[in-house]
């Protein structure tokens, strides 16, 4: 089953939106595989966002993501990466459709509440940054046949 990394960023924690984000992903039908409340240090943040190192917003982004606690999660589904991305909405909340997390709950690109991996390859890399293999749980979900056609 495909896995993706989701973060409720420090703005989401401060605004009391952890439950809202988790609830939307649960209700969509994604399956939670791992969850951790933590604060990223500078080294981890620079590695996580390494693709953006040369962008003008990199310093602000690293400062923001390390500024307070966040929730890191692994969610599973067939096509989990794409499903999470379209549940989150577009990078800039200003352009994000209503009905998405960013479109409903955010207004600013630098405070867009959530992170979701952008490809299965990124997901593997990012999940390994946040979780040991033993922290990602494989378990039966009793309502699976009502969410996924067997
Ligand atoms: P996403 O988080 O949708 O995958 P991204 O990987 O392109 O977006 O960028 C990572 C984060 O960096 C994004 O969530 C918010 C911030 N960011 C991106 N582009 C930005 C910009 N032009 N100005 C300020 N912050 C930006
Ligand atoms: Mg990205």
CATH code for the domain in which residue 115 is found = 3.30.70.141
In a domain, 9, yes or no: yes
The residue whose C-alpha atom lies closest to atom 8 belonging to ligand 1 is 91
Q: Is residue 142 part of a domain?
A: no
- pLDDT, one tens digit per residue, over 51-61 is 999 999 999 99
Residue 112 Cβ < 6 Å to ligand 1? yes
CA atoms within 13 A on the CB side of 57: 9
- Stretches where the chain sits below pLDDT 50 are none
Q: Is the distance from the beta carbon of residue 96 to the nearest atom of ligand 1 less than 6 Å?
A: no
How does pLDDT run across 98-131, given as a tens digit for each residue? 999 999 999 999 999 999 999 999 999 999 999 9
Give CA separation, 11 vs 27, 44, 68, 105, in Å. Answer: 22, 18, 8, 11
Angle between helix axes 80-88 and 18-28 (nearest 10 degrees) is 130
Note the pTM of the prediction, 2 decimals: 0.98
Structural domain boundaries, residue 102: 2-137
What's the pLDDT at 62? 98
The question of whether 52 is a catalytic residue gets the answer: no
What pLDDT does 144 receive? 95
The domain total for the chain is: 1
Does residue 64 lie within any of the structural domains? yes
Would 80 be classed as within a structural domain?
Answer: yes
Ligand approaching nearest to the C-alpha of 114: 1
Sheet of 31-38, strands arranged across: 31-38, 70-76, 3-8, 114-116
- 118 alpha carbon – ligand 2 mean position (Å): 6
Is there a domain that residue 143 lies in?
no
- Token pair belonging to 117: 């991996």
């Amino acid at each position: 089953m495909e896995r993706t990394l989701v973060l409720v960023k420090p703005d989401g924690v401060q605004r009391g939106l952890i439950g809202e984000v988790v609830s939307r992903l649960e209700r969509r039908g994604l399956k939670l595989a791992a969850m951790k409340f933590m604060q990223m240090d500078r080294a981890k943040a620079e590695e996580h966002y390494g693709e953006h190192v040369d962008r003008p917003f990199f310093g602000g982004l690293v400062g923001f993501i390390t500024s307070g606690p966040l929730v890191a999660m692994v969610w599973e589904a067939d096509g989990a990466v794409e499903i999470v991305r379209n549940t989150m909405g577009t990078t800039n909340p200003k352009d994000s459709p209503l009905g998405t997390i960013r479109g409903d709950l955010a207004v600013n690109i630098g405070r867009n509440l959530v992170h979701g991996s952008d490809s299965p390859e990124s997901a593997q890399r990012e999940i390994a940054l946040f979780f040991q293999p033993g922290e990602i749980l494989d378990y039966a979900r009793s309502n699976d046949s009502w969410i996924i056609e067997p």
